[in-house]
Structure 1
Amino acid sequence: MQNRRKNERLIGAMGKHFPRTHAVAAGAASFALALVLFISPPEVEAKRTALPVTLSHAEVSTAESTRAPETETAETTSVMEGLRVVQETVRNGDTLSDLFQRAGVSSSEMYQLLSSGKEAKQLAKLVPGEELTFQIDGEGSLQTLELHRDRLSKVEFSRDNSDEYKYALHTREAERYTAFRQAEINSSLFVDGTKAGLSNNLIMEMADIFGSDIDFALDIRKGDKFSVVFDEEFIDGEKIGNGAIQAVSFTNQGKTFSAVRYIDRNGDVNYYTPDGKSMRKAFIRTPVDIGRISSHFNPRRLHPIFKTRRPHNGTDYAAPRGTPVYSAGDGRVVKAGYTKANGNYVFIQHGERYITRYLHLHKRHVKRGQRVKQRQVIGTVGATGYATGPHLHYEFLVDGRHRNPATIVRKLPKAKAVASSEMDRFLAQTQPLLAQLQRFEQPALAQNNEEKDSVN
């Protein structure tokens, strides 16, 4: 196609300077040449895609100001360097051997690369969707292999003069821009959050931040509202994802909670109230993010299967099968197994006084004796054992006695606040974020009031 466009430009140029008869004759000759080039067999198989060599961010910024147009650069590279460039996308079930075979590179070349150093071992752990770019010389020898993990990083293995492969990691920094979203709850947190432009991950992050103060399965009411400031990430003008929440407020049943992100001197990231108190309690309010309470803690409940008065020593959360179940706090798995009544279950010991229990799981993701962190996935919602449908039965024991999981967490202490010696640093880092949240909220609040007045 490149040769064909060049011939067309040549014909146009000749039409301006040659007599008509000469131009027609030259045009006919050029057309015949283009036809021969068009029907000649290509060097690369149709399934392979020839691409220009991918550059790192630093190389791109340096080369953009000096290089010729892209089509000419690609042609120069293939002619001057004599390299064939093949790009392969990892498919489900692919092995590294499959990718090398499709690229036309021998297995001996692959083994030489894999034995070049410990960095090459990561090539054995490819994920579908990742891309490999091969640069191959005329003798079929692999000169360079690039692994594109994502838009921000590229791993490169290149053959040097001693016939050994050298490893290099090229990274790019995404451009970050501040974004603001605000919504009022009319249907549900997920529905209204999505309408406001929040991704599912950001909604879950917000629920996690306020998980010790708000029960998102029980406490949410119509008219609740939230405001959130977060980062959006772009590469070459294209949005590639969202960064972390920087500051957020949530008004639940008339009470407003605010949180701000803080990175301490050790590099640890947590969320705190504006005055430095931790948003994280020893236990989260609910072990599932999505679900509704289908049965409350009730010592005199009528059992739905046996129809007798039996204590219901926990809270049931109805949720779709496969919904992640989190550990309510840091601890150690003391039991994990299966019984006819409980189905798949996990029991976790938290310190000396507290135990949490998770019953009727579809699958267990932890084993007895394993240490777990707060909000670590320990299993998924199921309907195993004596269960009428998919749900999680969740129990909370204090000193061996069952307590209401929906209320006990509010009475437990929070994690440590920001140390007094670090308070000045905390305020310097977080006050601008809170001020930014307030600046965004004021125009949005004024606009909402104007809309209400116009309706009235």
Structure 2
Amino acid sequence: MPRKLRNGLLILGTTLVVAALAWPPTDTPSGGQASRSLALPDAPGVPDTPDQAPDLSSLPAAEKLREGIDSPTGTPDSAEAARTSGERPVASSPVEDGNDSAPQWQVQTVRSGDNLATVFKRAGLSARDVYDVVNAGDPAGQLTRVFPGDEVYLQKSADNRLLGLRYAMSPSRTLHLRRDADGDWKPFVKTVELERRNAQAEGRIESSLYNAGIEAGLSDALIMELAGIFGWDIDFALDLRNNDSFVVIYETLHRDGQKVRNGDILAAEFVNRGERFRALRYETPAGESNYYTPDGRSMRKAFLRTPTDFTRVSSDFNPDRVHPVYGTKRPHRGTDYAAPPGTPIKAAGDGKIIERGRKGGYGNTVVLKHGTRYTTLYGHMRGFANGHSVGDRVQQGEIIGYVGSTGVSTGPHLHYEFRVDGTHRNPRTVDLPEAEPIAEQYRDDFERETSDLLARLDGISPTRVAQAGE
């Protein structure tokens, strides 16, 4: 072979070897996995280990490489001498010297129908990895309940070994899993304090509370919370009138300047049929929270006004009613609330079960005793809630049964009776006993903590509609 051709091939080969060694390696995930490597920010639910590129600062300059190739001594022997003396890229390569860059984080987004096993399988992890993670101890067990849209961050080694996991349990709490010195998983939770701001909204009833709330910018949850606060005083299914109005002051929670969710209602006002109701949220130094009137009376009554969600009142309290089945005059000593079969029925107040079972024309029935003066009856139930028996105590709002049409009944409904000292009273109009007012030991603190909220309620213009969440 001619000398010039041999030298040309040698130079070309050396150039290709140098180029291959100098180019930083890249890892390409196999199998088309639906994941992506991220340079992850330091935020809740997001790993904070940044991607690190290989350090190429010790590589010789291109001019030096060309010198070695173009010089008369650019032979295989001289190339070997250069490699062993540390002048070549091999010596400083993070792959060759065993100092890999930090393992990359990947994020897997939970899809509809996914559980942790399918998420891990998509990431190339094994069933054993799933078992080890969910059995790492509290609160790692929460990973058995992931939801579409959730993001699970995974840190893996070059040989696909799982090294770390992070999962946002809430906007402020992030679950971390990390291996200890023995290789066992250790779960812990990091909490980030959210910034709290106040927002306000007001509206006027034209068709329903829900429609007015949506128009004012309230979420479904805030509308339900508003109805719950005033539900002891106002029957929102029957008592609302056009031009009733409301004002709501509530918390919004933010992280890094971005709103993450709504908080609690802090103060609210509702005007129903010209009567004004106000509620202020107060949390005691012991951490117990409730809603009170401005003078410290609890908004919560000892009894719910209606113990089920109903579509209409099918028969009102009427001592002179003609019975729809028997056709004779028989007093109707309660209120019938029509509702779909299976609608939950709640205990109207704290009490003890004194009857539970079949009761003549009432069908499946529960009777509760509340203290020494009050009893409530719930009739025509389809069935009873599990876990209760005669003599058990129940709390206000606890489910005791389900709407049905057992006994003498013309359709699914709840027959509800309210008795005071053994006398039947109209459940819709009876004066309900008040719950306990704010304790005297907290009275001064209550007035200090709620004075600003009360002033804001006084100062909100009834003609201005504040848009929520802005």
Shorter-chain TM-score range: 0.7 to 0.9
Instruction: Give distance in 2, aligned partners of 1:181 and 1:136.
Output: 48
Q: Does 1:120 align with 2:106?
A: no
In the other structure, the counterpart of 1:402 is 424
**Which residue of 350, 360, 366 corresponds with 2:370?**
350
Instruction: Give distance in 1, aligned partners of 2:435 and 2:141.
Output: 40
Report if the CA contact (8 A) 1:207-1:289 is conserved.
no
In the other structure, the counterpart of 2:436 is 416
Report if the CA contact (8 A) 2:311-2:339 is conserved.
yes
Q: CA deviation at 1:406?
A: 1.2
Q: Does 1:240 align with 2:260?
A: yes
- After TM superposition, list the pairs within 5 Å mapping 1:360-439 onto structure 2: 360-361=380-381, 364-369=384-389, 370-383=392-405, 386-408=408-430, 410=431, 412-439=432-459
Distance 1:344 1:48, change over 3 A: farther
In the other structure, the counterpart of 1:203 is 223
Instruction: Give distance in 2, aligned partners of 1:131 and 1:340.
Output: 55
Instruction: Give distance in 2, aligned partners of 1:230 and 1:366.
Output: 37
Question: Which deviates the most, 345-354 or 309-318?
Answer: 345-354
Deviations 1:219-278 (A, max 9, x none): 222222111111223345544332111111111222111111111122111111111112
- Aligned residue pairs, count: 395
**Which residue of 82, 85, 88 corresponds with 2:106?**
85
Q: CA deviation at 1:401?
A: 3.6
Instruction: Give distance in 2, aligned partners of 1:399 and 1:194.
Output: 43
**Which residue of 42, 52, 63 corresponds with 2:38?**
52
Question: Which deviates the most, 389-398 or 264-273?
Answer: 389-398
Q: CA deviation at 1:184?
A: 2.0
Report if the CA contact (8 A) 1:333-1:367 is conserved.
no
What is the identity percentage for the equivalent residue pairs of Structure 1 and Structure 2?
42
Q: CA deviation at 1:373?
A: 2.3
Deviations 1:183-218 (A, max 9, x none): 222222222222222223222222222222223233
Instruction: Give distance in 1, aligned partners of 2:273 and 2:177.
Output: 57
Distance 1:47 1:141, change over 3 A: closer
SS in structure 2 at match of 1:57:
coil
Q: Which amino acid aligns with 1:50?
A: R
Distance 1:336 1:174, change over 3 A: farther
Distance 1:81 1:384, change over 3 A: farther
**Which residue of 248, 261, 281 corresponds with 2:301?**
281
Q: CA deviation at 1:413?
A: 2.7
Distance 1:418 1:249, change over 3 A: same
Report if the CA contact (8 A) 1:227-1:441 is conserved.
no
Instruction: Give distance in 2, aligned partners of 1:367 and 1:226.
Output: 40
Instruction: Give distance in 2, aligned partners of 1:386 and 1:116.
Output: 56
Q: Which amino acid aligns with 2:31?
A: E
C-alpha RMSD of matched pairs (Å): 3.5
CA radius of gyration, larger in: 2
Report if the CA contact (8 A) 2:252-2:261 is conserved.
yes
Q: Does 1:317 align with 2:303?
A: no
Instruction: Give distance in 2, aligned partners of 1:347 and 1:53.
Output: 62
SS in structure 2 at match of 1:311:
coil
Q: CA deviation at 1:123?
A: 3.3
Distance 1:256 1:119, change over 3 A: closer
Distance 1:117 1:242, change over 3 A: closer
In the other structure, the counterpart of 1:251 is 271
Deviations 1:49-86 (A, max 9, x none): 2242755537989x7xxx9xxxxx55749x72244625
Instruction: Give distance in 2, aligned partners of 1:342 and 1:102.
Output: 56
Instruction: Give distance in 2, aligned partners of 1:84 and 1:265.
Output: 42
Report if the CA contact (8 A) 2:172-2:192 is conserved.
yes
Q: Which amino acid aligns with 1:402?
A: H
Distance 1:167 1:111, change over 3 A: same
In the other structure, the counterpart of 2:212 is 192
In the other structure, the counterpart of 1:271 is 291
Instruction: Give distance in 2, aligned partners of 1:431 and 1:155.
Output: 38
In the other structure, the counterpart of 2:124 is 104
In the other structure, the counterpart of 2:59 is none
Question: Which deviates the most, 430-439 or 166-175?
Answer: 166-175
Q: CA deviation at 1:326?
A: 2.8
Instruction: Give distance in 2, aligned partners of 1:417 and 1:441.
Output: 30
Q: Which amino acid aligns with 2:263?
A: G
Q: CA deviation at 1:153?
A: 2.2
Instruction: Give distance in 2, aligned partners of 1:203 and 1:59.
Output: 29
Report if the CA contact (8 A) 2:44-2:171 is conserved.
no
SS in structure 2 at match of 1:406:
coil
**Which residue of 192, 195, 198 corresponds with 1:178?**
198
Ranges in structure 2 where 5+ consecutive residues have no aligned partner: 1-25, 55-99, 466-470
Instruction: Give distance in 2, aligned partners of 1:140 and 1:383.
Output: 60
**Which residue of 136, 143, 160 corresponds with 2:163?**
143
Distance 1:55 1:343, change over 3 A: farther
Distance 1:388 1:80, change over 3 A: farther
Report if the CA contact (8 A) 2:44-2:174 is conserved.
no
Ranges in structure 1 where 5+ consecutive residues have no aligned partner: 1-39, 68-72, 446-456
Report if the CA contact (8 A) 1:335-1:368 is conserved.
no
Report if the CA contact (8 A) 1:336-1:366 is conserved.
no
